[in-house]
Chain A
Amino acid sequence: MYKDLTSLLAEATEAKQPLWRIIAEEEMRLSEIKEHELLMRLDTRLSVMEQSAMRALESPLETVGGLISGVASRHARYANDRKGLAGGLANRVMAFALSCSEVNASMGCICAAPTAGACGILPAVLFGLREEYDLSRGELQLALLTASGVGAVITRNATVSGAEGGCQAECGVAAAMAASAAVFLVNGTNEACIHAAAFALMNAMGLVCDPIAGLVQVPCAQRNASQAVNALVSADLALAGMRSVIPPDEVVEAMLKVGHLLPDALKETAQGGIAATPTGRRIAKELFPEQGQ
């Protein structure tokens, strides 16, 4: 039974199976469910992800303080009108990620992946790639399975709590999950899936959690957009054949240790980073005068 990324990969290699098969079998054992129920539960989540990735593309949603109202629809128009510097796919992925963040901030329904603050990254990559490669629902389910298996291992051996590990534990882990899903969706190897996840974590290492006024809006929406692109970049690195010099499980461990080294001011308390800038503090004071940060 696997307990880390190395043993997950080893089991898949030994059985000559894709990662999702090993992950599915483990989950069916753990949750005592049949394959049908497993796929049904995954599909429910996929539906919520799809809705949240699309819901704010047309018109702005109302959020507390309005810090990110309209960012998704504006970016969707930009991505439609031109390719953007980072390319068409990357820009559409950003728009999807921003939509999820906007839905989340408006107290709409989302699927945490692995957390609500990071809920845009995995859906953005999944549905961005669906458009690009005309993927089936079944393929998306298996990609979600791959991503969630990788996420479960990281949750087990590190943390996905912003209060414990900073933004790297939320958006960084989401990017790692999305990177492995992306590699799977374009028929990359199991090994490439795992190493893509390691690259995504490496690229996000040390990222602090510093939300203005404690609201899950700025810089969370921007981080969802940029970490979704990090997932694509990390997937490309692995697909091109790059392998992580540091074993992926050691990268996971390093992420946890960095999280513990970060001061509390940079872990969801809104006391440091972007939140603690003069303008960040002024916005906080205007929105919540009684809280006195």
Chain B
Amino acid sequence: MDISIFDVVGPVMIGPSSSHTAGAAALSRVGREIIGEPFTHVSFGLHGSFADTGAGHGTDRALVAGALGMRPDDERLRDAFRLAEETGMGYDFHRVELDNVHENTVQMVFTLLSGRKREIIGSSIGGARIVITRIDGYETALTAQTNTIMIEHHDVPGVVSGITRALAFNGINIAGMQLARKSRGDMAFTIIEVDQNIDDMTLHDIDWVNGVKRVQVIGTVESLADAMEGLLYV
């Protein structure tokens, strides 16, 4: 079996819809983690069923809650709009038509402190499971079901083997791997799903591989710490 019973009985979440509420909160929660730096505004483009039936499912509140750092089982989710206002995180919603995506898809554009914008697209694929399909123009398939290492690097020979060597050296087992690039010889994006937790030494070793520009770890949806208790990204 490759499906955990805890994906079937679970998650423990705020209702009413695993795909429209918990999945939505998980999408922006992971999105916030991928951005990984302060932002002032999130613009949510709702596609398909997210746009059609989202309001009644609290999809909008859940997306804002996730962007604030709340977990999908946080009872404060229903007050997300008020909490966003209190903390100064801006947000807006609009309808978008995206090509070749799941019915429950959101396009999130984060405005950073510097004013730069970053785009993440992801889908809620049922039972609160999600997949991030696009990060800043790179095609991805990030599910946040296991720990995930994201590496942005130059598209030159030897980088990927350097990365896998660094992982093997630190005793990390690779569960899945994706490579994406915008055009040949430009920048590339490697996403590696691993079984173990990643420590700073491993990240440091990857960072030292020739051609690596940036490395980042994304935890599982379940493990992401509750940021509402601490400092917000705004």
Partners in one complex: yes
Residues of chain A having any CB pair with chain B under 8 Å: 1-3, 23, 26-27, 30-32, 41-42, 44-45, 48, 64-65, 103-117, 119, 122, 144-145, 147-149, 151-153, 155-156, 159-164, 177, 211, 213-217, 268-270, 287-288, 291, 293
A-B CB pair tally, cutoff 8 Å = 169
| Residues A215 and B57 in contact in the complex (CB < 8 Å), given A156-B1, A156-B2 | yes
Partner of B3, one of A42, A105, A152: A152
**What is the CB-to-nearest-CB distance from A56 to chain B, in angstroms, rounded to a whole number?**
12
Establish whether residues B8 and A213, one from each chain, have CB atoms under 8 Å apart when the complex forms: no
**What is the CB-to-nearest-CB distance from A272 to chain B, in angstroms, rounded to a whole number?**
13
Find the residue from B4, B5, B56 having the highest chain A CB count within 10 A: B5
Question: Measured between alpha carbons, how far is A289 from B5 in the docked complex, in Å?
Answer: 40
B195 within 8 Å of A by Cβ? yes
B125 within 8 Å of A by Cβ? yes
30 A/B residue pairs, CB under 8 Å, sorted by A = A1-B1, A23-B5, A27-B5, A45-B9, A45-B10, A65-B56, A104-B16, A108-B75, A111-B9, A111-B10, A111-B12, A112-B12, A112-B22, A113-B9, A115-B127, A116-B15, A145-B5, A149-B5, A151-B9, A152-B5, A156-B3, A159-B126, A160-B126, A161-B125, A161-B126, A161-B127, A164-B126, A214-B55, A216-B15, A268-B103
- CB under 8 Å from chain A, chain B span 143-174: none
Partner of A108, one of B5, B10, B14, B195: B14
B133 within 8 Å of A by Cβ? no
**What is the CB-to-nearest-CB distance from A211 to chain B, in angstroms, rounded to a whole number?**
8
Q: What residues of B have a CB within 8 angstroms of the CB of A213 in the complex? A: 53, 56
Establish whether residues A30 and B57, one from each chain, have CB atoms under 8 Å apart when the complex forms: no
**What is the CB-to-nearest-CB distance from B127 to chain A, in angstroms, rounded to a whole number?**
5
Establish whether residues B55 and A109, one from each chain, have CB atoms under 8 Å apart when the complex forms: no
B135 within 8 Å of A by Cβ? no
Establish whether residues B127 and A112, one from each chain, have CB atoms under 8 Å apart when the complex forms: yes
Q: Closest residue of chain A to B125, judged by CB? A: A161
B28 within 8 Å of A by Cβ? no
Establish whether residues B55 and A291, one from each chain, have CB atoms under 8 Å apart when the complex forms: yes
Establish whether residues A112 and B11, one from each chain, have CB atoms under 8 Å apart when the complex forms: yes
Question: Measured between alpha carbons, how far is A147 from B77 in the docked complex, in Å?
Answer: 29
Top-10 shortest CB links A-B = A214-B53, A161-B126, A104-B15, A148-B5, A216-B16, A151-B8, A148-B9, A116-B18, A215-B56, A107-B78
Partner of A31, one of B6, B19, B103: B6
Which range holds the interface residue count of chain B? 35 or more
Q: What residues of A have a CB within 8 angstroms of the CB of B103 in the complex? A: 163, 268-269
B111 within 8 Å of A by Cβ? no
**What is the CB-to-nearest-CB distance from B16 to chain A, in angstroms, rounded to a whole number?**
4
Q: What residues of B have a CB within 8 angstroms of the CB of A106 in the complex? A: 15
| Residues A117 and B10 in contact in the complex (CB < 8 Å), given A30-B1, A288-B55 | no
Q: What residues of A have a CB within 8 angstroms of the CB of B75 in the complex? A: 107-109
Question: Measured between alpha carbons, how far is A3 from B5 in the docked complex, in Å?
Answer: 13
Q: Closest residue of chain A to B21, judged by CB? A: A116
* Additional pairs, 17, CB under 8 Å, beyond known A112-B18, A115-B17, A156-B3: A27-B4, A44-B12, A45-B6, A109-B13, A111-B10, A112-B22, A114-B127, A115-B19, A115-B127, A116-B18, A116-B21, A152-B1, A152-B3, A163-B19, A215-B16, A216-B17, A291-B52
Question: Measured between alpha carbons, how far is A213 from B57 in the docked complex, in Å?
Answer: 10
Establish whether residues A269 and B53, one from each chain, have CB atoms under 8 Å apart when the complex forms: yes
| Residues A116 and B17 in contact in the complex (CB < 8 Å), given A122-B9, A160-B126 | yes
Question: Measured between alpha carbons, how far is A117 from B15 in the docked complex, in Å?
Answer: 8
**What is the CB-to-nearest-CB distance from B220 to chain A, in angstroms, rounded to a whole number?**
11
Find the residue from A44, A112, A177, A287 having the highest chain B CB count within 10 A: A112
Q: Closest residue of chain B to A163, judged by CB? A: B103
Establish whether residues A270 and B15, one from each chain, have CB atoms under 8 Å apart when the complex forms: no
Question: Measured between alpha carbons, how far is A246 from B41 in the docked complex, in Å?
Answer: 55
Question: Measured between alpha carbons, how far is A185 from B158 in the docked complex, in Å?
Answer: 58
B68 within 8 Å of A by Cβ? no
**What is the CB-to-nearest-CB distance from B17 to chain A, in angstroms, rounded to a whole number?**
5
**What is the CB-to-nearest-CB distance from B57 to chain A, in angstroms, rounded to a whole number?**
7
**What is the CB-to-nearest-CB distance from A20 to chain B, in angstroms, rounded to a whole number?**
10
B67 within 8 Å of A by Cβ? no
Establish whether residues B12 and A48, one from each chain, have CB atoms under 8 Å apart when the complex forms: yes
| Residues A155 and B127 in contact in the complex (CB < 8 Å), given A1-B1, A144-B9 | yes
Q: What residues of A have a CB within 8 angstroms of the CB of B56 in the complex? A: 64-65, 211, 213-216, 287-288
**What is the CB-to-nearest-CB distance from B66 to chain A, in angstroms, rounded to a whole number?**
14
